[in-house]
Amino acid sequence: MAFLCPYCFEAKSPLGPCCHLNEIVRFLRMSFLPLKYIFGVKIVVKGKENLRSKKPFVLVMNHQTSLDIMVMMEILPSRCVPIAKKEILYMGTFGLACWLSGLIFIDRKKREESITILTEVAHSLYQENFRVLIFPEGTRNHGGAMLPFKRGAFQLAVKAQVPIIPVVISSYCNFYNQKEKRFTRGKSIIQILPEVKTLGLGPDDVPKLTEQVRDSMLTTYQEISGMTNRASH
């Protein structure tokens, strides 16, 4: 499956040797991180020590709104490329910025093609020493909890035998409400959880692994969002 690198404009496998991963991360940060000052959002990061690994890993993060792109810039590690649904590519200027940022796009309607891309990524993780970020919910969730997780991120981690690092962003409800068109100054908390090892796990372990990570992320989400008394599902 070919991928056109936006820096050298050559067709490569999803992340071939010529892809400028450090430039990609810098571009992402320069494009989105300054927005936190414009919007007046204070970002507090907890558990930074859990991201100090220099080895490949799969980063999974809950997905609420487009604000996630801005917030995640605070912790996006070097040599890390997000994997996103292909529909984003057609979202005008935002889609163009994502393409220039080197995102890997997955067409969820073409299952075999998606599996092929994820397989190539899995084979390249150690060879090219990079990391990937995936939103396992698959789409934005405005409901104040978490949608069921899709298994792609966990299948990728197991196939590559690399750890999963869960990252949880607190609810934006205190300063952002899409229905009411309300946006005020506020604070967002990012909690980085300890890595979950996948060494020795196989395909049959993926369902349990998926639920294990989701449960820990949901519990953390409720804690940092001040909703510990709410139901888990």
Work out whether strand 104-106 and strand 164-169 pair parallel, antiparallel, or are unpaired. unpaired
Work out whether strand 186-192 and strand 164-169 pair parallel, antiparallel, or are unpaired. antiparallel
Q: What is the pLDDT of residue 190?
A: 96
The DSSP annotation for 92-121 comes to: HHHHHHHHHTTPEEE-TT-HHHHHHHHHHH
Q: Specify whether the CB–CB gap between 165 and 59 falls below 8 A.
A: yes
**Of 207, 116, 112, which is closest to residue 155 (Cα–Cα)?**
207
Over the chain (233 residues), the average pLDDT of each successive run of 10 is 49 46 67 78 94 91 84 84 72 61 66 70 77 86 80 92 95 78 84 97 97 96 78 43
Q: What is the pLDDT of residue 10?
A: 52
Distance CA 19, CA 23 (A): 9
Any idea which residue has 């139901």 for tokens? 231
Tell me if residue 28 falls in helix, strand or coil.
helix
Q: What is the pLDDT of residue 230?
A: 46
Looking at the domain 21-224, which fold is it?
Glycerol-3-phosphate (1)-acyltransferase (3.40.1130)
Total length of the chain: 233
Q: What is the pLDDT of residue 37?
A: 82
The DSSP annotation for 164-223 comes to: EEEEEEPP-TTTEETTTTEE--EEEEEEEPPPB--TT--GGGHHHHHHHHHHHHHHHHHH
Domain boundaries, the chain: 21-224
Q: Specify whether the CB–CB gap between 84 and 104 falls below 8 A.
A: yes
Rounded to 10 degrees, the C-alpha dihedral 17/103/20/189 comes to -120
